[in-house]
Chains A and B, each alone.
Chain A
Amino acid sequence: MKASLFRTTGLALLAACLAQAPATAEPRLTVISQWSAGSEGAAMDAFGKMVTEKGVKWEHSPVSGFTTDMMNKLRADIIAGRPPAASQLKGPEIKAWSAIGATINLNDVVKATDYEKNISADLAKIHKPKGDWIALPLQIYRVNTLFASKKAMDKIGATELPKTWDEFNALSAKMAAAGITPVAHGGIGWADTMYFELALAGISADAYRKAIMELDDKSLRGPEVLAAFKQLRQLTKWMNPANAGQHWSVFLPALMKGEYGFLMMGGWASGVLKKGNFEEGKDFLCGATPNNTGKPVFDMNADGMIFWDTKNADLLAGQKATAQVAMSKEFAKAFTQINGSIPVRTDIDLSDAGFQDCQRDAAKNLSGAIAANQAIMSLGHNMAQTSPVTAALRDVLTEYVHNDKITPEEAQKRLADAADTVR
């Protein structure tokens, strides 16, 4: 009785909306994201400006804090039957969430451009989980980025970033001997997970794909994963255990002073360094993390935006216009210049002064990795697996990083067992 009453009102409202639609075509877009402040917030504001120029009213409500807080908001809105027209969402979660709320079909909008030809096929697949485009990637970060302190490198007489894990280990040993803490790492769950994935991806991208992205039991219990745990244990010995729980940005000043040697962090760190007036080449070096495979590896973290079906003509018009902006070359440049990411499109010229060398290197790295089929999805940044799987693996990895009593063999077994329970 009650429910039917609501349904009738809903229908009536809907009918009213549809009836009015042609007369009041005022495109607008309601959007929720985590990006409220800093360079992420600024990039989002620039996005909004470009959309506004297309005549769309931009209504952005950021939900900051943890990603989960934003997801809770999204869930509540879906339950309420009024999701935002667009929301930030990425990786396999796009598929999971599109199963509980209706999305719009962007096929026509996408197919009208050359967008699909110019982005990674793996990435495209994530944004059309059932074959239809329902979401769009906005930016890509290279997770496997290595930052080295110029001062620390100078002190041990090194000029080039280590290419392989052996070189990395050798340089780190020298730094340790010179009184430098080789690895700047705080260690919250996601960051610990990220360090494991960088170790494994640098040992074998194929093994990473099989073990982490496909949860293949044989690979999980195989020699490459064990080697990755051993390398990770080596890394933890070069961290300052007193740093546990700290945000990575806390170490930047000390890293620049040469008290630390290396920081492995996604490309967003270069944006923060830029803001702190530190210069690439003078204060720090930036490149890909060690890689034994001989071919480029790119560990991808790509934020995206999903478009929810709102049955409202104004919002539908806004969604279409926004999607067109998000696929454009102008957007690709403007958005990524602000926050230090790289464009989703591989046909963008990054020689503008607005880009940093680090971004150019990452973009080249991406094209190379796509060609070598070594562009992989980040586990720590929820690109490789759905959240239940990620979280189960993360629990094992983060405990391993902070408890040196756990042996690599034991950790490997725990990881494979954890995968069993969630597969």
Chain B
Amino acid sequence: MSETAITMPGQARPARPVPRRSWLSEIPDLLTRIVAGVIATAAVGYVVGFTLWTVLISFTDSTLLPEYNFVGFKHYWQLLNSRIWQVAYLNLTIYGLGFILGATGVGLLLAILIDQKIRGENVLRTIYLYPMALSFVVTGTVWAWLLNPTIGVEQFVRGLGWTQFKFGWLVDRDLAIYCVVIAAIWQASGFAMALFLAGLRSLDGDLYKAAAIDGASPARMYLRIMVPAIWPIVVSVLVILLQTAIKTYDLVRALTAGGPGIATTLPTNVVYDYMFQRGLMGAGSAAAVMLLLSLLIVLLPYAIFQRLRRGKGGGHG
């Protein structure tokens, strides 16, 4: 297949006039290829360049501006031994798992329920999906109001008569991270729902019939037959949610400011704090690099999985 592409340039010039000439066909083909190549190179160069630059800076003693005095792994050891990084890392694990599984679970549940030929599907779908249009700053601010025990839901429910009602997760240092999870699920689960719903709708009708003939219960039908059939979409959802989880920063900033104390700090907050608040660019870069390295722990198995799947599927995709 790749040979075709490589032999193309020789025959690129049309031997006979292409019907319906447009101004586009006046542009020499070679030029368009070069332009396409440059664009792709820019996209690659940006990722590689910025990443390598950050790695480089992480080994220097840069403070307010990048400088090039190398200090080896100093920042890495200091960070690994610092309390804030350990807390942040544990938080990322809790938040990442909670958010990804939660948003996936809620999204799947809603997709299945919406798929039951219900009335008002369009309205409900829009309601579930709209939070995706908002920024994390807005989400964080509003949920900070709602989850705050003195002004939010707790107060509201007490006002309705349940005077003993308690919901103080946001101010509990062990539970506050779950508030971040709730707010993030609120924002992204509609998106997961949309993807799953799209997947379910794209399935062959025969699959339903076969399942119905088997006399499978609805729950069994979905969990055993439908979900495996949309497995690629499940993986897609997980990947999109993973990048959201890793990059979450302003949600925490708006919702808890990292508190109570330092209880809800995430690694991205540490990166921001070191790079900009403390003005320690070297250490901040080291934190960013460690965050990206931890990503590889998740991504590498996925890449291997993809490769295996592709191997089975016969080279398509």
Which of B83, B150, B260 contacts A402, CB < 8 Å? B260
Complex alpha-carbon distance, A117 and B260, angstroms:
44
Q: Evaluate whether A244 and B259 lie within 8 angstroms (CB atoms) in the complex, with A75-B64, A402-B173 already known.
A: yes
B144 at the interface (CB under 8 A from A): yes
A245 and B173 contacting across the interface, CB-CB below 8 Å: no
Complex alpha-carbon distance, A75 and B280, angstroms:
13
A72 and B150 contacting across the interface, CB-CB below 8 Å: no
| B residues near A400, Cβ cutoff 8 Å | 261
Complex alpha-carbon distance, A214 and B171, angstroms:
34
A188 and B262 contacting across the interface, CB-CB below 8 Å: no
Residues from 23 to 71 in B contacting A, C-beta threshold 8 Å: 63-65
| B residues near A246, Cβ cutoff 8 Å | 148, 150
A276 at the interface (CB under 8 A from B): no
A64 at the interface (CB under 8 A from B): no
Which of A100, A243, A244, A391 contacts B277, CB < 8 Å? A391
Which of A72, A188, A391 contacts B273, CB < 8 Å? A391
Which of A66, A242, A395 contacts B83, CB < 8 Å? A395
Which of A188, A189, A243, A388 contacts B279, CB < 8 Å? A388
B263 at the interface (CB under 8 A from A): yes
Closest Cβ–Cβ distance, residue B170 to chain A (whole Å): 7
- Size of the chain A interface, CB-CB below 8 angstroms: 38
Which bracket fits the contact residues of B?
A: 20 to 34
CB nearest to A400 among chain B residues: B261
Question: Chain B: interface secondary structure?
Answer: loop
A354 at the interface (CB under 8 A from B): no
Map CB proximity to A onto B251-280 as digits: 1 under 8 Å, 0 otherwise.
000001111111100000000110011111
Complex alpha-carbon distance, A383 and B150, angstroms:
33
| A residues near B257, Cβ cutoff 8 Å | 188-189, 245
A72 and B278 contacting across the interface, CB-CB below 8 Å: no
Complex alpha-carbon distance, A414 and B86, angstroms:
15
A96 and B84 contacting across the interface, CB-CB below 8 Å: no
A78 at the interface (CB under 8 A from B): yes
Which of A192, A403, A414, A421 contacts B78, CB < 8 Å? A421
B262 and A388 contacting across the interface, CB-CB below 8 Å: no
Q: Evaluate whether A188 and B259 lie within 8 angstroms (CB atoms) in the complex, with A72-B276, A386-B279, A391-B273 already known.
A: yes
Instruction: List 6 contacting pairs A-B, 8 Å CB cutoff, sorted by A.
Output: A75-B65, A241-B171, A244-B170, A244-B259, A387-B279, A421-B78
Q: What is B's interface to A at a CB cutoff of 8 Å? A: 63-65, 78, 82-84, 144, 148-151, 168, 170-171, 173, 256-263, 272-273, 276-280
Given A245-B170, A399-B83, 5 additional A-B pairs, CB 8 A = A187-B261, A240-B150, A242-B168, A243-B171, A387-B277
